[in-house]
Amino acid sequence: MNKLRRKRGSTFIAAAMLMALISVAGMTYMSSASDVMKTSKRKALDVQMAQLCDAGVQTILRTYWRDFKNSQSFDLLDTTCANASLNSPKGTATGSLPGVGRFSASIISCVTPVGDSYSRQVTIRAVGYIDSNGNSALDSNEPAKIIDVKATYQLNRSQVFDYVYFVNNYGWMTGFSDTDLTMNGDLRSNGNFTFSNGLPTVNGTVIATQNEKLSTGVDGIITGTPVKWSNSTYATTQGGSYSFASRMRQAYDSSIHGLKTASTYDSWRDILFDTSGGVDDGRITGATLSDATGSEGWTKTTSSSTPTYNQIDPAPTQEVVMPDLGDISDYQTLSTNYVDTKATYADGTANPYYNQGAWVDVWNSSTNSYQRLSTNGNISGSATLVGTAAHPIKIHGPVTVLQDAVIKGNVTGQGTIYTGRNVHIVGSIIYNNPPDFRGSNATTIDNTNEKKDLLGLAARASVIMGNPNTFTSTTLQYMTPPFTKSRKDDNGNTIPAFDATVVDSTGKMKYKSVISDSTMNSIAEGINQVDAVLYTNFVGGGNLGTAGGGVTFNGSIISRDEAMVVYSLPMVMNYDTRVKERSLSKKPLVDIKLPRSPVLLKSTWQDRGTSYGS
């Protein structure tokens, strides 16, 4: 009996132990499974809430970017986000991703970096949460995630100055043969680009861009394939007696500029013409035809030869945002505050203008002396500036003219004239000390050209060439609709096409000067040479070469609509490489304070933590 009891007892103990083991194993498994489920749920929540945070961040960034891109000023940011902090968030936005959750985002810091008035560093805090009870508010028991993003709104050197010819609405060249027009530089349009009724020579890249904001030309297509010289033809031409050979950028020659894999090439790459389009160091180099269908190199050395193409990159081109001079007071401030901070040039010689402000001086033949037209870098009213070789216009730094600047003749110095209305070019503009881009040593060339004359002309309204009092419908047709294009801004507002014949608040039609007709008639003459970088918010155009002898541009023209009518041939445009940003230094050789373009840089993204609620 006792034996049986002991047997039963031991069996019971074994069974109990087995049950206990199974229970422990089961509980362990259950615990593990519930942990996995909890972790999975949290991971899913994490991803969802990160997306919600990103939506909040993008909402804030986009809102201020749209305004910044249009206005190209920090006014809205500065006004809205002054003294923003975590205890006082500014510029808030709320919203939802349907079926996921909601977000709230605010700017918790907006800082102007010391010594850099062209930047605003913004910190955005975004909260993404799962609105489980659907009350459109964050409750204490709801999961939430916080992310901080730092971004910088910046007015940077504009890419538009990398081109000898940049037109926002429509790039066009009509009626030119390969010997009539030679473009030694890169060409770009933020819409279509058309060569018609003849094919000019383009020793550089041509870019068209798809642009749905334009009323026409939205496809971003290049029509017509221009003639392009080989590197050897270009070098031979530059080495001969070609007019303004010294103002042409050089053609790539591996014996001078090094192999493309060599370090020597780095100091040349930004300022060369290379007829062979390709990819080097991850970026497209050499001359290409680039549009909405991608980029390709091409060969067409004579007007009669059939072009051949080689595909380089299927990626479509992107819009390059033009600077906007809408608020002239920004440039008045720039002129007032300007001080030349370059104590010495790159070769070690002293800069005679070091520590000086902005000014422009002209010769007065009545008093036989120079007179300073500017006061603290500004001119209230309009300015007439006529220079001669003996008594050139002298300029230093950015000078702002409240209305028109009427200019012709010889110029010396380095600077930019900003105008609240038009720039009227009424005769050739000629540097007294022009640069020379020839030579075999990049440093020597740069050191010499750094000190040579350089002029920028930037108009809030238009750059008009020739005597506007003599313009006929031949010219005006390109300054009025339907040739000029309407478009939409980034807020969806329609911007009607520019019309030069409309009268503005001065009582003058937009293409005419506020300077009297008699003065304009007295000083206007044919334009054969323009040594300047021209920038205009609206139209760049007018009559050129009316005195015969052709026209040579040594600089650039950047405009929204282009309306140049050329009355004598040939026409040549040479890009001035001194205003191009170099890859190594991220700066141009000479900084004449040209207009800037807005950019948005996202710098850091930081997860500040997650609450999974209860």
Partner 1 sequence: MDRKIIFAGILLAAAALSPAPINDARVKHPHVAPRSQAEVEKEQQFNGVTPVVGQVPKYTNEIGEESSKLHVMRSSEESTSDITQGSERSDRVAAMEVQDASKRVQAEASGSGHSWLVGVMIAIVGYLGWKAVQYKLEKSFPVPEGVRAASKH
**Token pair in block for residue 610:** 């997650």
Whole-angstrom CA distances from 67 to 71, 132, 488 are 6, 35, 14
- In whole angstroms, the minimum distance from the beta carbon of 495 to partner 1 comes to 5
- Residues 6 or more apart whose CB falls under 8 angstroms from that of 372 comprise 359, 360, 361
Q: Alpha-carbon distance 340 to 356, whole Å?
A: 5
Segment 225 to 244, residues that bind partner 1, using CB under 8 A:
none
Single out the segment in contact with partner 1 by CB under 8 A; choices: 99-107, 220-228, 251-259, 593-601.
Answer: 99-107
- First and final CA of the chain: distance in angstroms? 59
- Looking at the DSSP bridge assignments, the partners of residue 75 are none
Given the complex with partner 1, which of 104 and 182 has the nearer CB atom? 104
> Is 180 near partner 1 (CB under 8 A)?
yes
- In whole angstroms, the minimum distance from the beta carbon of 93 to partner 1 comes to 5
Q: Alpha-carbon distance 271 to 292, whole Å?
A: 26
Segment 103 to 132, residues that bind partner 1, using CB under 8 A:
104-106, 108, 125-127, 129
x-marked contacts with partner 1 along 554-593 as a string, rule CB under 8 A: ----------xxxxxx------------------------
Segment 56 to 85, residues that bind partner 1, using CB under 8 A:
59, 63, 67, 70-71, 73, 75
> Is 297 near partner 1 (CB under 8 A)?
no
Single out the segment in contact with partner 1 by CB under 8 A; choices: 257-265, 278-286, 440-448, 605-613.
Answer: 605-613
> Is 51 near partner 1 (CB under 8 A)?
no
Whole-angstrom CA distances from 530 to 464, 466, 595 are 12, 12, 19
> Is 383 near partner 1 (CB under 8 A)?
yes
DSSP β-ladder status, 181-184 and 551-554: unpaired
- Of 420, 423, 422, 368, which is closest to residue 390 (Cα–Cα)? 368
Reported in sequence order, the residue ranges of 116-243 that DSSP labels E, i.e. its strands, are 119-129, 144-157, 165-167, 171-174, 181-184, 187-189, 193-196, 201-202, 206-207, 222-223
> Is 373 near partner 1 (CB under 8 A)?
yes
Q: Alpha-carbon distance 588 to 553, whole Å?
A: 20
- Of 155, 186, 593, which is closest to residue 399 (Cα–Cα)? 593
> Is 93 near partner 1 (CB under 8 A)?
yes
Determine which residue in the list 338, 498, 535, 575 makes contact with partner 1, applying CB under 8 A: 498
Scan for tokens 């238009």, then name that residue. Answer: 462
> Is 135 near partner 1 (CB under 8 A)?
no
Single out the segment in contact with partner 1 by CB under 8 A; choices: 35-43, 137-145, 184-192, 309-317.
Answer: 137-145
- Residues 6 or more apart whose CB falls under 8 angstroms from that of 571 comprise 176, 180, 181, 182, 544, 545, 550, 551, 552, 553
Give me Rg for the CA atoms of the chain.
Answer: 32
- In whole angstroms, the minimum distance from the beta carbon of 452 to partner 1 comes to 22
> Is 11 near partner 1 (CB under 8 A)?
no
> Is 482 near partner 1 (CB under 8 A)?
no
Single out the segment in contact with partner 1 by CB under 8 A; choices: 6-14, 182-190, 270-278, 465-473.
Answer: 465-473
Torsion of CA 281, 285, 286, 291, to 10 degrees: 150
Determine which residue in the list 227, 461, 479, 592 makes contact with partner 1, applying CB under 8 A: 461
Segment 509 to 548, residues that bind partner 1, using CB under 8 A:
510, 514-515, 519, 522-526, 528, 537-538, 543, 545-548
x-marked contacts with partner 1 along 411-450 as a string, rule CB under 8 A: ---------x------xx----------------------
> Is 48 near partner 1 (CB under 8 A)?
no
Handedness of CA 212, 213, 214, 215 (dihedral sign): positive
Size of the site for partner 1 (CB under 8 A): 116
Single out the segment in contact with partner 1 by CB under 8 A; choices: 336-344, 441-449, 499-507, 572-580.
Answer: 499-507
Is 56 in contact with 127 (CB distance < 8 Å)?
A: yes
Q: Alpha-carbon distance 78 to 110, whole Å?
A: 8
In this structure, which amino acid lies at residue 281? Answer: D
> Is 189 near partner 1 (CB under 8 A)?
no
- Looking at the DSSP bridge assignments, the partners of residue 484 are none
Given the complex with partner 1, which of 306 and 368 has the nearer CB atom? 368
Given the complex with partner 1, which of 22 and 547 has the nearer CB atom? 547
Given the complex with partner 1, which of 535 and 538 has the nearer CB atom? 538
> Is 614 near partner 1 (CB under 8 A)?
no
x-marked contacts with partner 1 along 159-178 as a string, rule CB under 8 A: --------------xxxx--
- In whole angstroms, the minimum distance from the beta carbon of 216 to partner 1 comes to 17
- In whole angstroms, the minimum distance from the beta carbon of 576 to partner 1 comes to 23
> Is 253 near partner 1 (CB under 8 A)?
no
Torsion of CA 329, 332, 336, 341, to 10 degrees: 110
> Is 156 near partner 1 (CB under 8 A)?
no
> Is 1 near partner 1 (CB under 8 A)?
no
Is 127 in contact with 105 (CB distance < 8 Å)?
A: yes
- Looking at the DSSP bridge assignments, the partners of residue 58 are none
